[in-house]
Amino acid sequence: MNKRKDMFDMKKKTYEEMVGLEKAEAWKKKLKEAKKGFVPWNVGIKHTEASKKLMSIKTKEVWQDPNSKYNEKGFKEKLSKSNIGRKPWNKGYGEYCEDEKNNMWKGDKVGYGALHEWVRRRKPKPEFCECCKNKPPYDLANISGEYKRDVKDFDWLCRSCHAIRDWRTRKNEKKES
């Protein structure tokens, strides 16, 4: 077989395929050990406002320059087509940080707005108010007044039904106290 052809075929293979998985893993481990404690030269260095401004200006110049490769006819189309079939970096990420899996999850200690948003995502909005069945619903109303994380403890109500229910609840609270 042609030696030159073998050389080009070798470039298409990954390092693991060329030397074997065991050898590749050992090499990766050695590299990792060698890099321990290494601090890159630019850690902690921040751009000044002047350098940020200059970078912004230069970037705009490059994108607006008629002779720039970024302004070639069809560059944007080529760029968008080059990403067809590629998996986005964050695809499937949502399932790892939803609800209880999220490290910011507060459980039942959630605030008013966040609880309403949580219920809004889980309870489908009906066509008509759950109380009068005449007008389209606008508000999510809490039934028990305890603001628990329970979808059944909320109703979709029109504004007038929500106002009436809140008024009755406040009226009953005043009688009890």
> How far apart are the C-alpha atoms of 130 and 157, rounded to whole Å?
6
Within-domain flag for 127: yes
> How far apart are the C-alpha atoms of 125 and 148, rounded to whole Å?
19
* Phi, psi for 63 (deg, rounded to 5): -70, -25
Question: What DSSP element (H or E) covers 51?
Answer: helix 49-64
Which range, of 24-28, 43-47, 145-149, 167-171, averages the lowest pLDDT? 167-171
Within-domain flag for 150: yes
Residue 32: what residue type?
A: K
Task: Report which of residues 155 and 95 the model is more confident about.
Answer: 155
Compute the half-sphere exposure of residue 147: CA atoms within 13 Å on the CB side of its CA. Answer: 12
Within-domain flag for 45: no
Within-domain flag for 54: no
Tell me the CA distances in angstroms from 145 to 68, 134, 164, 168, one per residue in order.
Answer: 63, 24, 14, 12
Q: Please answer whether residues 141 and 165 qualify as being in contact, where contact means their C-beta atoms are separated by less than 8 angstroms.
A: yes
pLDDT at 156 over 90: yes
Query: What are 49's two structure tokens?
Result: 């406002």
Within-domain flag for 141: yes
The residue count of the chain comes to: 177
Task: Report which of residues 140 and 104 the model is more confident about.
Answer: 140
pLDDT at 39 over 80: yes
pLDDT of residue 124: 92
Within-domain flag for 27: no
| 1-18 tens-digit pLDDT | 455 555 555 556 777 777
| 75-128 tens-digit pLDDT | 878 888 888 888 877 777 766 677 777 778 888 888 888 899 999 989 999 999
Within-domain flag for 136: yes
Tell me the CA distances in angstroms from 16 to 9, 11, 24, 31, one per residue in order.
Answer: 15, 12, 5, 15
Residue 108: what residue type?
A: D
pLDDT of residue 44: 87
> How far apart are the C-alpha atoms of 16 and 37, rounded to whole Å?
27
Query: What are 55's two structure tokens?
Result: 């970078």
- The three-state secondary structure class of 142 is strand
Q: Which domain holds residue 126?
A: 108-176
How many domains does the chain contain in total?
1
Within-domain flag for 147: yes
